[in-house]
């Protein structure tokens, strides 16, 4: 039952927002009593925390799978973007922004976990790109990895990139291209341009 509650809550939170979905809404959607939810979660904050970290683990597992199966680090970044967007429902409800606003403690823990995961993953990807001649050999891998995380986090700030002007898919595509064009070699640029041309979204 606990897993079912987390799954349904995740779906509602991602579609409608952490703030607007109540415990009553979740109980009604599942056809159970609110008391049943409280057997597993003392309050809404505990449920939000469980949903957040469950989603994080699912996304981490997916990213690991993509990295293992990837043809090259350029396609890998785009595949990861598609996977994350799918699991976060295209971030329609600005989940990161809402977490930061209404559940700041959960947000801070999640941000640290995300940084640790992404920092390692991106460093490996950058090293692979350098080794295969797609990325410039003189890039500072640690610095670029931190900048990438900072940018990916930054584009989710609704006060800087309002959703009525920019949708999340556009922001992520544009940021990925911006990031890659700064570090590719001529060979990498050729691969990037080919990939963008054949995958116009």
| Tens digits of residue pLDDT in 160-180 | 999 899 988 899 999 999 999
Burial class (CB in 10 A: 0-12, 13-18, 19+), 104: exposed
pLDDT at 72 over 80: yes
Averaged pLDDT for residues 150-162: 90
Structural domains of the chain, with CATH? 43-198 (1.10.357.10)
pLDDT at 90: 62
Mean pLDDT over 12-36 rounds to 94
Alpha helices per DSSP H over the chain? 2-16, 23-30, 34-40, 44-69, 73-87, 95-102, 104-131, 141-154, 168-183, 186-198
Instruction: Place 91 in a pLDDT band, splitting at 50, 70 and 90.
Output: low
Asked if pLDDT for residue 201 goes beyond 60, the answer is no
Kindly tell me if the per-residue pLDDT of 37 is higher than 70. Answer: yes
């Amino acid at each position: 039952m606990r897993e079912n509650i987390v799954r349904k809550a995740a779906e509602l939170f991602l579609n409608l927002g952490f703030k607007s979905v109540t415990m009553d809404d979740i109980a009604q959607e599942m056809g159970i009593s609110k008391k049943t939810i409280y057997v597993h979660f003392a309050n809404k904050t505990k449920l939000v925390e469980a949903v957040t970290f469950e989603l994080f683990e699912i996304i981490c597992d997916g990213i690991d799978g993509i990295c293992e199966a990837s043809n090259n680090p350029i396609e890998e970044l785009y595949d990861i973007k598609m996977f994350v967007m799918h699991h976060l429902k295209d971030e329609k409800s600005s989940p990161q922004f809402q977490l930061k606003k209404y559940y700041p403690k959960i947000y801070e823990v999640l941000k640290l976990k995300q940084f640790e995961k992404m920092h390692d993953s991106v460093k490996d990807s950058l090293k692979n790109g350098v080794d295969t001649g797609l990325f410039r050999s003189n890039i500072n891998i640690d610095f670029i990895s931190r900048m990438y995380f900072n940018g990916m986090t930054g584009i989710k700030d609704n006060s800087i990139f309002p959703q009525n002007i920019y949708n999340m898919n556009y922001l992520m595509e544009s940021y990925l291209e911006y990031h890659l064009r700064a570090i590719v070699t001529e060979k990498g640029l050729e691969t990037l341009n080919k990939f963008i041309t054949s995958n116009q979204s």
